[in-house]
A = this chain, B = another copy of it.
């Protein structure tokens, strides 16, 4: 029996996608082989990869001037590749620190020999909000931010429009959850395992002319140009993960109706859950500042923190999993990504009310 999956990532995928992957496991699209057994050079696979790239650009409304790359290694490898390519040899680059993952990105830039500058940070307030004032460097190479903070449950409502350099963002945990204006961006990366597909695929959107400004002479797999020039097939890409992602993109485009529609559905789910938290008379308490709340990761605590384990255990018994907060902060987190349905959130809210009524 399927559970209600509130995992932070890897996370819930649309059931029709899983059903199609299963149905084709021994014979993918009439090739007589699993997608895992097909050559990445086969014309069917190349066509599938190209369709996946096109679907992504179409969803985002950026058909021109961008390239979709299929990378590996997760955000953590991007944390290194970005400064290696775009802030080598002591180049200054700006970071906005909104939690665990942007802190790691900043630290990795230091390791890579860049000179990262903290343009803003909400660390002093436990990363409960997205800063809106920045002390940028005069001429940074880029400005880096994490658009949704999975751990802290915050999201950028909108992005800086007067930064002194192009923006680069880790959008992993909100990727494709809303329309975004990418006009000030040159690179966006997103681990697939939140809103798109299985772990092991990192989607990178990049402007090719920006890639050209990168440091020359890097190892091939660490140079964005390699992926651009070979259309992400310099070596064998994670074919099955790309295929699964492609199915999810088509589901999002054709079944859901695109990013404006999914944003509306996501907001409905988030409103439902935040309303339950805010209306609990303090029994539940959201951890993020209201103006910075994420519609993807809803983080909250119980006033009686000693009841939190019981809450999680009872929720699990009721078929709701993944509600524990990130191991670095504890508490609760309901990740309500694209594939989590409103009915799942309503069930959770019902459980929360019941749990409170027994103890409130």
Contacts and interface: CB of A to CB of B under 8 A. Distances in A.
Nearest to A339: B37
A221 B237 CA distance: 18
Interface in A151-207: 191, 193, 197-201
B200 A76 contact: no
A181 B327 CA distance: 41
A240 B197 CA distance: 11
B32 A13 contact: no
A10 B28 CA distance: 14
A223 to B, nearest CB: 9
Interface string A29-56: 0011110111111000000000000000
A112 B220 CA distance: 10
A2 B73 contact: no
A319 B25 CA distance: 18
A218 B2 CA distance: 42
A237 B26 contact: no
A37 B75 CA distance: 18
A26 B108 CA distance: 37
A111 B220 contact: yes
A15 interface: yes
Contact of A18 (B2, B25, B238): B25
Given A3-B33, A22-B23, A72-B77, 19 more contacts: A1-B32, A2-B27, A3-B31, A5-B37, A10-B36, A10-B38, A12-B33, A18-B36, A19-B25, A25-B25, A32-B319, A36-B244, A76-B221, A112-B219, A191-B236, A198-B239, A199-B238, A199-B239, A200-B241
8 contacts: A9-B236, A10-B38, A18-B34, A36-B193, A73-B77, A74-B236, A199-B237, A200-B200
